[in-house]
Amino acid sequence: MTTHVKVLGTLFIVFGAFYVLLAFGSSMLLGFLAALVGARGGDDAAIGASVLGLAGAGFFVFWLCVGIPGIITGIGLLKFRRWARIMGIVLSAIRLIQFPFGTILGAYGLWVLFNKETETLFSDPTPPTPPTRA
């Protein structure tokens, strides 16, 4: 199960990084659109630019709040921290509603983190060492 925990940690980091990139991308896109709308001039354009700018800021904060906990949890899982297992269970349960990829990651995460062997990995005070090959 050590390999599954490491794969899950890596997947949490990858998905979290994707959401962080989505945060910056959506913010830049909506900021660019706000600039285009604002350049047209007029009262309606100013309101539209403001709404687009606020939406960009809102999306930025939302996607960061989705992505950063996944990255932190992934790093914790790779280091076999006890808190990361609990946080991974919570995030996996939340991701079940993000069809289709989040559902797959959430189901895999719950399967890995609720496994009895995984529980023992996270209950030991020292992290497991990978077997050496002769």
| pLDDT digit string, tens, across residues 63-93 | 999 999 999 999 999 999 999 999 999 999 9
Instruction: Categorize the per-residue pLDDT at 134 as very low, low, confident or very high, splitting at 50, 70 and 90.
Output: low
Preceding peptide of 100 cis, ω within 30° = yes
Give the list of residues 6+ apart from residue 97 with CB closer than 8 angstroms, or none: 103
Instruction: Categorize the per-residue pLDDT at 124 as very low, low, confident or very high, splitting at 50, 70 and 90.
Output: low
Alpha helices in the chain (DSSP H): 2-39, 43-78, 82-95, 101-113, 116-123
Amino acid 46: pLDDT:
86
- Whether the predicted pLDDT of 24 surpasses 70: yes
> Rounded to whole angstroms, how far apart are CA atoms 67 and 22?
9
The percentage of the chain sitting over the pLDDT mark of 70, rounded to a whole number, equals: 93
